[in-house]
Structure formats: structure tokens, C-alpha cells
Amino acid sequence: MKMFIDCDPGVDDSLAILFALNRPDVEVVGISTSTGNVTAAQGAENALRILKLAGMEGKIPVCAGAEKPLVGEVEDFPDFIHGKNGMGDVELPPTEQKVVDMDVSDFMYQKACEYEGDLVLISLGRMTNLANTLTKYPDYAKKIKRVVAMGGTIYSHGNVSPVVEANIGGDPEAADIAMTAEWDMTLVGLDVTLKTHLTRSDVDKLLRCCLPEKKGMVSFVSEELRYYMNGSRKQNYTMEYSPLHDPLAMVVAVDPSVVHTRKMVTRVECGGTWCRGKVVVDLREQPIEGRFVEHCLDVDSRKALNILFAAFQN
């Protein structure tokens, strides 16, 4: 599988990226970043350091993208969940690899052309880069094989408002553009990520069972998850576990059998106070104008976690 990752690393982004890099059936051909958990520039630096940790320094290009949403300005970063540096304040060694000196839309389109018809696009943050590329290059969507995105909620509650998930809420206009584009999109939202619990016990077991050559990566994940799980405890009153957001989207990309889905006509609410950023689906016989998006509504959480852990053991 040829994969392009758009992200905002981000503790859970870090684990998702490392999972993809350790899957023998996945070839990551590019990474782009946008503002979200940290600035796009900080996210790109984090991605470069993660590549070095995985022994992939200089092998996968990284491009920094949008530093603000399509409308409005950037709000405060969620430091209490991801730390000041986005990686639970765990410091990885610097790398000599530099970010690609290109407009992110040009970079994303270039990769789509290079792997036309084969490229799977993984969206782990706000969809600003996707929207900008779709606007600049109207044929971009037709070059992508499929899109798997972490974001939204249909029947579950939100995490930044009563009904809104953070990635979609961070740039509703961009998400609406992405969800109405002419491509095959699967949305992995809070309906399934909140049901998939990554526990401290799971991480400790992985530390004991991982391959020796992958110990450094797992140790890093273990340390940054300490901060992340503490943030989850403050936000959601969880004890010794956190929901599995971005890594679950990665798992779904490589093995869709872990989720049950339904395709529904979908738009994003771009107005209002409490509902700005809400993913809206219409099941009526004559629905609103929109495209069908595949939504994950249930998950085999243990199978998903086993697939995630296997990448560091096999």
C-alpha cells in the first residue's frame, strides 16, 4: 500500500506514524503537517525526528503546511494532552533531514500524480491542507485511491463541544470541502475511537514483548503516553487508559474488517456556536446536497489493538 500521511504530531499521531512505518505492507511516500496539536512547523520537526527514530531519516519527505484554518485564527493548543512540543514533552534527538521547501499543495499534488490511482491518503488532523490542495488542483481527488480520516462523530458526544470532534471543529470549512470531494472517504470518528482503549497495561506488555530492534520506538511511545494518558484523565476522567484516535484510523486503513460502517450523505455545519464543526448526515430519501462518506459506527477494539501491537512484534 502506497500511503501519504497528513497529520499534526501529536502523541497519537506519533504512534500512528510509527505503526505505518513498521508495517511491511505499507510504504509511506510523504508526510505533510498542519496546525492542530502544535504548529505545522513544530509538527513537521516532530515528524522528522520520528522518522529518525524509526531508522528512516532522509527516506521520506516531510512538508510543513497550513498554520491556520481557512476561516478565523488558531486557538490555544491542547498542551495538557500533548505537551508543549506535541510529543508529551519527550525530546527525541534532532535530525539532519530538512523539510521540503515547497508549497504543501504542490507537494501533495506531486505525490498524487507520482502514484496516481494507488495512493491512500491518511488524514490525522484538520483537513486544511486537503482543502487547499483540492481548491488549487481540482483533479486532485480523482488521483487518490481512497481517503481514511480520523475525525467527527455521528452518535457519540464530541470532545471540543457537545457534538463536535477536534479535527473537524478546528477547520469546519476545510472538512466540508474534503467531504464533498469526488473521492472514496472513510471517516474514523469518536463513535469508534472512544470505544477503543489503549491501557497502561497494554503498553507495558508491549515493552516486554516487542522485538529488540523496535525497543527504542516502543520506549518512546511508552513515555509520551504517560503524559497523554494523564491529559485524558483530566479531560475524560479515565484511569490508566486513553481513547485510541489516530492509530485506529491507521489500523482501519490497513484492515477495514475491524470496523462496521455505513455510507451516508454528509456535510459539515459551518455556523452556530455549539454545533459549528458538527458532522451532519442525512438519511432521508431526498437528502441535502452532499456526497456519501463511509462512517465507522462500531469496532472490534481488541482486534484493532492486536493489529496495532503486532507491527512492533513481528
Rounded Cα distance between 279 and 15, Å, is 26
Catalytic residue among 6, 202, 245, 246: 245
Whether residue 310 contacts residue 251, with contact meaning beta carbons closer than 8 Å, is answered with: no
Catalytic residue among 8, 12, 13, 202: 8
Rounded Cα distance between 189 and 245, Å, is 8
Nearest C-alpha neighbor of 111 from the set 66, 62, 56, 148: 62
Rounded Cα distance between 269 and 296, Å, is 19
CA angle, corner 127, sides to 288 and 230, nearest 5?
115
Rounded Cα distance between 162 and 268, Å, is 15
Rounded Cα distance between 230 and 226, Å, is 6
Q: State yes or no: is 89 an active-site residue.
A: no
Question: Please, what sign has the CA dihedral across residues 232, 234, 237, 238?
Answer: positive
Nearest C-alpha neighbor of 30 from the set 114, 91, 92, 93: 114
Nearest C-alpha neighbor of 258 from the set 190, 194, 308: 308
Rounded Cα distance between 133 and 142, Å, is 12
Which residues are catalytic, by number?
Answer: 8, 245
